[in-house]
């Protein structure tokens, strides 16, 4: 490829070290599509002849078809996918193939390819997120009235509905989608035609090629067009946030599946046994998702660090972007693919959730509210209820089983209606504030999410 300037070929080790084809070959389709648009632009502008353009486009289409059918194997001896496609084209169509690289450099070529590739992959991840949200919403709908303790500091706090808890995740994943969409929109400008860094002396029409490739416009500075990978960082940050959400969900599923909680049971098809302990049913999928969060964060850090301090414009360091970002998209995709059906098939142990809600004084806030509504300042009510809780702990009973007589010893504002006020059902059904835990509020949340998904 470097014929002319060099008299010796590259040392074998250095050649292997320099090569990226083992990982960038996955962009063959984007590389070919980008080249087709470039060839069309060259012909439209009269930079190459129409017959040459036709040969190039037919040749590229045949290469694409042959790669996809398996008839053509990508030659791992080439430096990268760009070199392979060009060499294969020239081998097939001769001199016309040598004209493709007019008014272009691998620097803008690779910058286009990654954008096209990431646009496709990000759309796939959005579709997977939607499937997960659907699974979560389905479970929320089926369990909208199921009462369990809500936690803060992992201490039982207030009664909530399981539908409410699940819909919290639906909201997070919905925001993940919108974050990725924003990143795609910001990335969707074509650097093609930036060439090596300075632009070109040919009379190109960058906008024409950009439109053919579905971009919203062109990058406005050719040095920036070939130098920056901020769009990779942005998507990798978005993917890291998806993983962070998934890992929190995973952690809860792992806890809920333990004997200690016993709130849910994962389907056999999403759990594993132990090679030695016959009783075990492990939530390996959730644990792996939690674990894989680390590598997605790591990829982001790796690329941030690679790009730090790089002088403009292209530097070979930037070839390191691909393994990091490819690993991130692969990891997020596989995690989502496993997670959605795992949630869909998860069995909810309603009785255990309810039993847990009966312990831990999670209706204490409601008891304090009861006194407050009768005219007692909240802080005074808070103190009295604290004393009552202490008394219950001592007597080994709960707020619901302490007698009215004993309540009255604290203040005669207590009446028999207190028991109804602090029942778990009341605690939940009265929390009708927007976004709250009552069945009605959860139904509104479900309707909102469904509406957003249909957009
Ligand atoms: N394989 C290279 C990469 O991924 C393509 C760009 C090469 N450009 C260059 N000036 N060596 O970054």
52 ligand 1 Cβ < 6 A? no
CA distance 386 to 376: 15
Atom of ligand 1 nearest to the CA of 322: 4
**Is a pLDDT exceeding 90 seen at residue 195?**
yes
Pocket-testing residue among 316, 322, 326, ligand 1, by greatest number of atoms within 8 A of Cβ: 316
Q: What's the mean per-residue pLDDT of the chain?
A: 96
Q: Which residue has the higher pLDDT, 258 or 275?
A: 258
Contact 236, 303 (CB under 8 A): yes
- CA 162, chain centre distance (Å): 23
CA distance 314 to 197: 8
- Give pLDDT, residue 280: 78
CA distances from 84 to 89, 91, 273 (A): 8, 10, 46
Contact 43, 50 (CB under 8 A): yes
Would the CA dihedral through 85, 87, 93, 97 be positive or negative? positive
Provide the 10 A C-beta neighbour count for residue 311: 6
Is the bond leading into 350 cis (omega within 30 degrees of zero)?
A: no
What mean pLDDT is predicted for residues 312-333? 98
Task: Tell me the CA–centroid distance for residue 109 and ligand 1, in Å.
Answer: 9
- Residue 153 falls in the annotated catalytic set: yes
Task: Tell me the CA–centroid distance for residue 316 and ligand 1, in Å.
Answer: 6
What mean pLDDT is predicted for residues 242-264? 97
> Which of 173-182, 209-218, 272-281 shows the lowest mean pLDDT across its residues?
272-281
286 ligand 1 Cβ < 6 A? no
Percent of the chain having pLDDT more than 70?
99
Whole-angstrom Cα Rg for the chain: 30
CA distances from 244 to 237, 241, 303 (A): 10, 5, 18
229 ligand 1 Cβ < 6 A? no
CA distance 122 to 176: 11
B/e letters for 292-310, b = 16+ CB within 10 Å, e = fewer, are bbeebbebbebbeebbeee
**Tens digits of residue pLDDT in 92-114:** 999 999 999 999 999 999 999 99
Task: Report which of 257, 440, 448, 259 is spatially closest to residue 346, judged by C-alpha positions.
Answer: 257
CA distance 54 to 42: 11
- Give pLDDT, residue 277: 78
CA distance 65 to 68: 5
Task: Tell me the CA–centroid distance for residue 107 and ligand 1, in Å.
Answer: 6
**For residue 194, how many C-alpha atoms fall within 13 Å in the half-sphere facing its CB?**
26
pLDDT band for position 8 (50/70/90)?
A: confident
Looking only at the bridges linking them, the beta strands covering 189-190 and 217-218 are: parallel
**Tens digits of residue pLDDT in 383-428:** 999 999 999 999 999 999 999 999 999 999 999 999 999 999 999 9
- Residue 274 falls in the annotated catalytic set: yes
pTM value > 0.75: yes
Pocket-testing residue among 25, 106, 114, 311, ligand 1, by greatest number of atoms within 8 A of Cβ: 106
Contact 261, 271 (CB under 8 A): no
Atom of ligand 1 nearest to the CA of 20: 1
CA distance 216 to 174: 24
238 ligand 1 Cβ < 6 A? no
Task: Report which of 21, 22, 100, 25 is spatially closest to residue 59, judged by C-alpha positions.
Answer: 100
CA distance 441 to 405: 36
319 ligand 1 Cβ < 6 A? yes
Task: Tell me the CA–centroid distance for residue 362 and ligand 1, in Å.
Answer: 60
CA distance 233 to 299: 9
Task: Tell me the CA–centroid distance for residue 317 and ligand 1, in Å.
Answer: 9
- Give pLDDT, residue 323: 98
110 ligand 1 Cβ < 6 A? yes
Task: Tell me the CA–centroid distance for residue 81 and ligand 1, in Å.
Answer: 10
CA–CA–CA angle 52, 55, 61 (5° rounding) = 140
Which of 178, 258, 274, 380 is catalytic? The answer is 274
Q: Which residues pair with 348 in a beta bridge?
A: 264
Atom of ligand 1 nearest to the CA of 79: 1
CA–CA–CA angle 163, 167, 173 (5° rounding) = 155
Contact 296, 243 (CB under 8 A): yes
H helix or E strand, kind and range, residue 286: helix 284-307
H helix or E strand, kind and range, residue 35: helix 28-44
3-class state of residue 155 by DSSP: strand
Contact 433, 138 (CB under 8 A): no
Tokens of 305: 């660090």
362 ligand 1 Cβ < 6 A? no
**Is a pLDDT exceeding 70 seen at residue 1?**
no
Tokens of 146: 């199921």
pLDDT band for position 5 (50/70/90)?
A: confident
pLDDT band for position 281 (50/70/90)?
A: confident
Task: Tell me the CA–centroid distance for residue 315 and ligand 1, in Å.
Answer: 8
B/e letters for 383-406, b = 16+ CB within 10 Å, e = fewer, are ebbeebbeebeeeeebbeebeeee
Contact 265, 257 (CB under 8 A): yes
- Give pLDDT, residue 2: 66
81 ligand 1 Cβ < 6 A? no
**Tens digits of residue pLDDT in 36-85:** 999 999 999 999 999 999 999 999 999 999 999 999 999 999 999 999 99
Q: Where are the beta strands (DSSP E) in 58-176?
A: 147-152, 155-161
20 ligand 1 Cβ < 6 A? yes
Contact 206, 190 (CB under 8 A): yes
314 ligand 1 Cβ < 6 A? yes
């Amino acid at each position: 490829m470097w014929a002319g300037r060099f008299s010796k070929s590259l040392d074998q080790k250095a050649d292997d070290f320099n090569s990226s084809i083992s990982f960038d070959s996955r962009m063959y389709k984007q590389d070919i599509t980008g080249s087709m648009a470039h060839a069309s632009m060259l012909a439209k502008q009269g930079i190459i002849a129409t017959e040459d353009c036709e040969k190039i486009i037919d040749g590229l289409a045949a290469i694409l078809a042959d790669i996809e059918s398996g008839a053509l194997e990508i030659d791992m001896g080439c430096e990268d996918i760009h070199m392979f496609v060009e060499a294969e084209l020239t081998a097939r169509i001769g001199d016309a193939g040598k004209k493709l690289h007019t008014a272009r450099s691998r620097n803008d070529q690779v910058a286009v390819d990654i954008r096209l590739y990431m646009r496709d992959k990000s759309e796939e991840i959005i579709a997977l997120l939607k499937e997960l949200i659907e699974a979560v919403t389905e479970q929320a709908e089926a369990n909208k009235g199921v009462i369990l303790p809500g936690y803060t500091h992992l201490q039982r706090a207030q009664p909530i509905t399981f539908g409410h808890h699940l819909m919290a995740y639906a909201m997070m994943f919905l925001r993940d989608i919108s974050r990725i969409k924003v990143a795609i929109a910001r990335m969707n400008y074509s650097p093609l035609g930036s060439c090596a860094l300075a632009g070109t002396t040919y009379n190109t029409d960058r906008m024409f090629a950009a439109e053919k490739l579905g971009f919203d416009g062109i990058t406005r500075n050719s040095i920036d067009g070939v130098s920056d990978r901020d769009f990779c960082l942005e998507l990798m940050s978005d993917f890291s946030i998806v993983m962070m959400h998934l890992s929190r969900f995973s952690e809860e599923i792992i806890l809920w599946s333990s004997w200690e909680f016993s709130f849910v049971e994962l389907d056999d098809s999403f759990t594993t046994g132990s090679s030695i302990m016959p009783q075990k049913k492990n939530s390996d999928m959730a644990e792996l998702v939690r674990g894989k969060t680390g590598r997605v964060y790591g990829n982001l850090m790796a690329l941030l660090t690679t790009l730090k301090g790089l002088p403009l414009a292209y530097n070979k360091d930037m070839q390191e972007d691909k393994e990091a970002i490819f690993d991130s998209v692969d990891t997020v995709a596989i995690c989502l693919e496993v997670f959605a059906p795992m949630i869909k098939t998860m069995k909810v142990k309603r009785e255990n959730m309810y039993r847990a809600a009966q312990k831990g004084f999670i209706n204490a806030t409601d008891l304090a509210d009861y006194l407050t509504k009768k005219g007692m300042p909240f802080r005074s009510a808070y103190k009295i209820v604290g004393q009552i809780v202490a008394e219950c702990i001592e007597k080994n009973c709960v707020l619901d089983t302490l007698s009215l007589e004993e309540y009255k010893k604290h203040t005669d504002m207590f009446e028999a209606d207190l028991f109804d006020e602090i029942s778990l059902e009341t605690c939940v059904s009265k929390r009708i504030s927007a976004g709250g835990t009552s069945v009605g509020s959860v139904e509104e949340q479900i309707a909102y999410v469904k509406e957003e998904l249909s957009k």
